[in-house]
A and B are shown apart, each in its own frame.
Chain A
């Protein structure tokens, strides 16, 4: 529940309907898509303008109350779980596409716009906004920016950070910060735009974004290659890139993932194969055809057991849609899924997959692996049950082991989901003490009171590293 004076001030700004602290509202904003984390906020607010966001932050500063910005709560790092209570600030009422500028190739949006809604709006104009997290149907652009979401098209087009040109954000004290603009070139001072992208709601609340658009590719074509040997799949990935082809999508699924996705989507995936690669290329039809034929040859040369080219663009879209549902579909096997996004250099994928399989055996756990093979971003997913405490403890140990392995292979603890709470204990392993201190300094500069999304990124729990630093 909110303190009555504070609630009165919030109501004066937002109106009665948009300030809630009843049990029902607090319960329903106590979680996001991350398993194992849940915590009740004191209240929930739904601002509709930048000025309202500003007022809420001023009130929150005055009462020294945490504020957690939230879109659809589809993130997987527990970043929107109000672990220290406070106010959850839901941004979904700020959901307008303010402008699509065809001359400058930009879109200006409010944070609550659904990612897919922007895709649809710009594609109607023959333009393209490539970042496509699997949750794009529901995830909001503000959330994408705060988390620096990746997606299936990251290999060729990059991720969210490559498409944000400018931001409007409100700082913890209620001051409005504007960064960048409709400029492709801009080196005035520190790059605060990039700093806010992926800052996980700990530095400011994003209230508007100017995004870069590119021309919509003329056509797209998908291909699926089946492998009865993991290494053959990994070799194929390397060989495609070595041949100078950058597909827009290059996805990997292991045997178990294939089986489950097939059960859900019924699209004819082979259930007896060790791995498949889903590959899509886009661009002018002639070049797409040329690349797809070349990929076909490379896959065959590298030992693919079967290769099929999608007949139409729609067939290809169906394949990729099925892949996007992989995580949730795995929930048919075990109730709790703990999805990781350890990422390694592309050339080390086979090593990483083998290590994952070794870890699964060692800790007696079930792990399915799928992910963005093209950019080395894997999603090893623990299939477990939150009610089985012993197993959950083994998961934690196995996860630490996996992080260790990824770092040894030159990788990162998180490729696209962010640190949040789930990976906070490992951040120091990757960035070192100095890295942590610099980051904390930045946090203090933006939010001296520490009210913006406390408990995220930085952990009190420092874990000893197995291999030493």
Chain B
């Protein structure tokens, strides 16, 4: 029972000539969570859960393999190289491995630590660096610029430019899946949730508490309707809703792509904002944001000054489905449709919320809930993965749509903007657009509730 030293591997000398890869190795040795690395006992229970392992059949593309690579780089018997970087990029970050892991290894954290080191040290093209800076630093954290983007996108559609791009053949220069994506993009709006309904919405019925609404960045531009519906549903369920306008982006995309410093800044800003708003819970309607917000306390674990507040913040994050289920019953009306549900990975594997969205769907009168085979597997959207790894993303999506087809559902429900767009894209690709639609859970519930309101209005008029 003796440890066999890895033979035929030269121990990497990180003090040797300073190459970017060498620097990366040093950074990994310093920043990877040694406990998490050691906690992986290599039992392999994660393998069947991993989409990229299923795609390739390669150990290196599995969670166990990626951890082994990280550990080898961390322990200094492997020099990280472009292949190492590619393998970390290739991961969808769906964290299904975490739900499958009996040993409770937090793979997502290890992945983010690796990506942070890669972002800092690995050589990148100028274009990549520019794009990253433009989106992650220049856009998402800035409310005004986001609004401007919303207005531009709205203009793009309204002016007929959208039509022109498609009819003129200009769209043909885009890869197929991007052309399809452009077709399904919802109408962006220059009016976010605060501009539409203000910062405080009173509770209806028996009061259940005070909830801060996390409005997100992209969510509030591309899915502003959903944000508005979220606030209205919360109020209908008995919550007083506050939407502090100073809040900013959750930092998930920053953390996932290695911009750890920026993610930290955003986290501190959000903690302060919601602390001041004095709320009982903070509601998230996007699994990706919610999971990131829950990580706040881990993110700031080394920051003594912020620790207590970060813990307060992390433990108050709830998904909208959890709050609605715990609140006053919603006045839902008959919606005789077949409805199926695609889990958001970060809601399920990050926030550990499963069951609440399905229960809400089931509570809609006359709706038929149909299980989606492998509805708990990633849809391939995964942040910007569908842009960075289009082939794998589309393979995963097309396989998913085969299962969706089997359900013969009228409505496919998700709980995250990225997944929702991907599902719309999938429906388009599978030629199912005249048979079914994809909706955010919140919009589905609002549809069922509005039906009631409309019916109510109609009866009033009739009288």
Question: B-contacting residues of A (Cβ < 8 Å)?
Answer: 22-40, 42, 46, 72-74, 81, 83, 85, 90, 92-93, 114, 135, 137-139, 264, 325, 327-329, 331-332, 335-338, 385-387, 392, 395-396, 399, 421-422
Q: Check if B87 is an interface residue, CB within 8 A of chain A.
A: yes
Q: Check if B455 is an interface residue, CB within 8 A of chain A.
A: no
Instruction: Assess whether B1 is in contact with A24, with CB atoms less than 8 Å apart.
Output: no
Q: Check if B79 is an interface residue, CB within 8 A of chain A.
A: yes
A93 to B102 Cα, complex, angstroms: 27
Instruction: Assess whether A135 is in contact with B43, with CB atoms less than 8 Å apart.
Output: yes
Instruction: Assess whether A24 is in contact with B83, with CB atoms less than 8 Å apart.
Output: yes
Instruction: Assess whether A24 is in contact with B103, with CB atoms less than 8 Å apart.
Output: no
Q: Map CB proximity to A onto B71-88 as digits: 1 under 8 Å, 0 otherwise.
A: 010000011010110010
Candidates A28, A32, A264, A338; contact of B69 at CB < 8 Å: A28
CB-nearest residue of chain A to B83 = A24
Candidates B4, B83, B103; contact of A39 at CB < 8 Å: B4
For the complex formed, measure the closest distance between the CB of A452 and the CB atoms of chain B, giving whole angstroms. 19
Instruction: Assess whether B41 is in contact with A73, with CB atoms less than 8 Å apart.
Output: no
The answer to whether A336 and B68 touch (CB under 8 A), given A28-B60, A36-B3, is no
Q: Check if B329 is an interface residue, CB within 8 A of chain A.
A: no
Instruction: Assess whether A335 is in contact with B104, with CB atoms less than 8 Å apart.
Output: no
CB-nearest residue of chain A to B60 = A28
Instruction: Assess whether B6 is in contact with A38, with CB atoms less than 8 Å apart.
Output: yes
A421 to chain B: which residues have CB within 8 Å? 4
Contact stretch, chosen from B44-52, B380-388, B446-454:
B44-52
Given A37-B3, A331-B41, 10 other A-B residues pairs in contact with their CB atoms under 8 A: A27-B68, A28-B62, A35-B41, A36-B2, A37-B4, A72-B47, A138-B45, A138-B48, A328-B43, A421-B4
Report B1-41 residues with CB < 8 Å from chain A CB.
1-9, 35, 38-39, 41
Instruction: Assess whether B60 is in contact with A25, with CB atoms less than 8 Å apart.
Output: yes
A275 to B130 Cα, complex, angstroms: 61
Identify whether the interface residues of B are mostly helix, strand, loop, or mixed: loop
- Give 15 pairs: A residue, B residue, CB < 8 Å, sorted on A: A27-B78, A28-B69, A33-B42, A39-B7, A42-B8, A81-B4, A92-B57, A93-B57, A114-B48, A328-B102, A335-B38, A386-B38, A392-B1, A421-B4, A422-B1
For the complex formed, measure the closest distance between the CB of B118 and the CB atoms of chain A, giving whole angstroms. 14
Q: Check if B390 is an interface residue, CB within 8 A of chain A.
A: no
Q: Check if B58 is an interface residue, CB within 8 A of chain A.
A: yes
For the complex formed, measure the closest distance between the CB of B36 and the CB atoms of chain A, giving whole angstroms. 10
Q: Check if B59 is an interface residue, CB within 8 A of chain A.
A: yes
Instruction: Assess whether B1 is in contact with A336, with CB atoms less than 8 Å apart.
Output: no
Q: Check if B65 is an interface residue, CB within 8 A of chain A.
A: yes
Q: Check if B324 is an interface residue, CB within 8 A of chain A.
A: no
Question: A-contacting residues of B (Cβ < 8 Å)?
Answer: 1-9, 35, 38-39, 41-45, 47-48, 57-60, 62, 65, 68-69, 72, 78-79, 81, 83-84, 87, 101-104
Closest 8 CB pairs of A and B: A331-B103, A328-B102, A28-B60, A28-B65, A335-B38, A28-B59, A325-B102, A329-B102
Instruction: Assess whether B104 is in contact with A332, with CB atoms less than 8 Å apart.
Output: yes
For the complex formed, measure the closest distance between the CB of B247 and the CB atoms of chain A, giving whole angstroms. 34
A397 to B44 Cα, complex, angstroms: 28
For the complex formed, measure the closest distance between the CB of A129 and the CB atoms of chain B, giving whole angstroms. 18
The answer to whether A31 and B42 touch (CB under 8 A), given A329-B102, A332-B103, is yes
Candidates B5, B35, B39, B72; contact of A27 at CB < 8 Å: B72
A135 to B57 Cα, complex, angstroms: 17
A385 to B37 Cα, complex, angstroms: 12
A258 to B68 Cα, complex, angstroms: 29
For the complex formed, measure the closest distance between the CB of B437 and the CB atoms of chain A, giving whole angstroms. 33
A158 to B430 Cα, complex, angstroms: 47
A338 to B1 Cα, complex, angstroms: 10
Candidates B4, B44, B102; contact of A74 at CB < 8 Å: B44
Instruction: Assess whether B1 is in contact with A36, with CB atoms less than 8 Å apart.
Output: yes
B59 to chain A: which residues have CB within 8 Å? 28-29, 73, 90
A35 to chain B: which residues have CB within 8 Å? 41-42
For the complex formed, measure the closest distance between the CB of A170 and the CB atoms of chain B, giving whole angstroms. 21
A329 to B2 Cα, complex, angstroms: 24
A25 to B86 Cα, complex, angstroms: 13
The answer to whether A33 and B7 touch (CB under 8 A), given A27-B68, A332-B103, is no
Candidates B1, B62, B78; contact of A396 at CB < 8 Å: B1
The answer to whether A395 and B87 touch (CB under 8 A), given A73-B44, A135-B43, A264-B102, is no
Instruction: Assess whether B101 is in contact with A328, with CB atoms less than 8 Å apart.
Output: yes
B72 to chain A: which residues have CB within 8 Å? 27
Instruction: Assess whether A328 is in contact with B103, with CB atoms less than 8 Å apart.
Output: yes
For the complex formed, measure the closest distance between the CB of A15 and the CB atoms of chain B, giving whole angstroms. 15
A336 to chain B: which residues have CB within 8 Å? 38, 41
CB-nearest residue of chain B to A327 = B43
Instruction: Assess whether A27 is in contact with B8, with CB atoms less than 8 Å apart.
Output: no
Instruction: Assess whether A85 is in contact with B4, with CB atoms less than 8 Å apart.
Output: no
CB-nearest residue of chain A to B81 = A23
The answer to whether A386 and B3 touch (CB under 8 A), given A93-B57, A336-B41, is yes
A142 to B293 Cα, complex, angstroms: 45
B81 to chain A: which residues have CB within 8 Å? 23-24
CB-nearest residue of chain B to A461 = B2
Instruction: Assess whether B44 is in contact with A72, with CB atoms less than 8 Å apart.
Output: yes
B79 to chain A: which residues have CB within 8 Å? 23
For the complex formed, measure the closest distance between the CB of B308 and the CB atoms of chain A, giving whole angstroms. 26
For the complex formed, measure the closest distance between the CB of B251 and the CB atoms of chain A, giving whole angstroms. 28
A332 to B105 Cα, complex, angstroms: 9
B84 to chain A: which residues have CB within 8 Å? 24
For the complex formed, measure the closest distance between the CB of B127 and the CB atoms of chain A, giving whole angstroms. 25
Instruction: Assess whether B47 is in contact with A328, with CB atoms less than 8 Å apart.
Output: no
A337 to chain B: which residues have CB within 8 Å? 41
A26 to B58 Cα, complex, angstroms: 11
Instruction: Assess whether A40 is in contact with B103, with CB atoms less than 8 Å apart.
Output: no
The winner among A23, A40, A90, A386 for most chain B CB atoms within 10 A is A23
Instruction: Assess whether A138 is in contact with B41, with CB atoms less than 8 Å apart.
Output: no
A139 to B370 Cα, complex, angstroms: 31
B39 to chain A: which residues have CB within 8 Å? 331, 335
CB-nearest residue of chain A to B87 = A24
A33 to chain B: which residues have CB within 8 Å? 41-44
B7 to chain A: which residues have CB within 8 Å? 39-40, 83, 85
A336 to B37 Cα, complex, angstroms: 11
Instruction: Assess whether B102 is in contact with A331, with CB atoms less than 8 Å apart.
Output: yes
For the complex formed, measure the closest distance between the CB of B103 and the CB atoms of chain A, giving whole angstroms. 3
Candidates B1, B41, B57, B103; contact of A399 at CB < 8 Å: B1
The winner among B4, B8, B58, B78 for most chain A CB atoms within 10 A is B4
For the complex formed, measure the closest distance between the CB of A32 and the CB atoms of chain B, giving whole angstroms. 7
Instruction: Assess whether B57 is in contact with A40, with CB atoms less than 8 Å apart.
Output: no
The answer to whether A38 and B44 touch (CB under 8 A), given A25-B60, A27-B69, A387-B38, is no
CB-nearest residue of chain B to A338 = B1
CB-nearest residue of chain A to B2 = A36
Instruction: Assess whether A335 is in contact with B41, with CB atoms less than 8 Å apart.
Output: yes
A422 to chain B: which residues have CB within 8 Å? 1
CB-nearest residue of chain A to B86 = A24
A387 to B4 Cα, complex, angstroms: 14
B101 to chain A: which residues have CB within 8 Å? 328
For the complex formed, measure the closest distance between the CB of B259 and the CB atoms of chain A, giving whole angstroms. 25
The winner among B1, B2, B57, B102 for most chain A CB atoms within 10 A is B1
A28 to B71 Cα, complex, angstroms: 11
For the complex formed, measure the closest distance between the CB of A142 and the CB atoms of chain B, giving whole angstroms. 14
For the complex formed, measure the closest distance between the CB of A46 and the CB atoms of chain B, giving whole angstroms. 8
Instruction: Assess whether A22 is in contact with B83, with CB atoms less than 8 Å apart.
Output: yes
CB-nearest residue of chain B to A75 = B44
B69 to chain A: which residues have CB within 8 Å? 24, 27-28
Candidates A83, A331, A386; contact of B4 at CB < 8 Å: A83
Instruction: Assess whether B9 is in contact with A40, with CB atoms less than 8 Å apart.
Output: yes
B3 to chain A: which residues have CB within 8 Å? 36-38, 386, 392
A340 to B337 Cα, complex, angstroms: 54
B6 to chain A: which residues have CB within 8 Å? 30, 38-40
A285 to B32 Cα, complex, angstroms: 54
Instruction: Assess whether B1 is in contact with A31, with CB atoms less than 8 Å apart.
Output: no
A327 to chain B: which residues have CB within 8 Å? 43, 102
A386 to chain B: which residues have CB within 8 Å? 3, 38
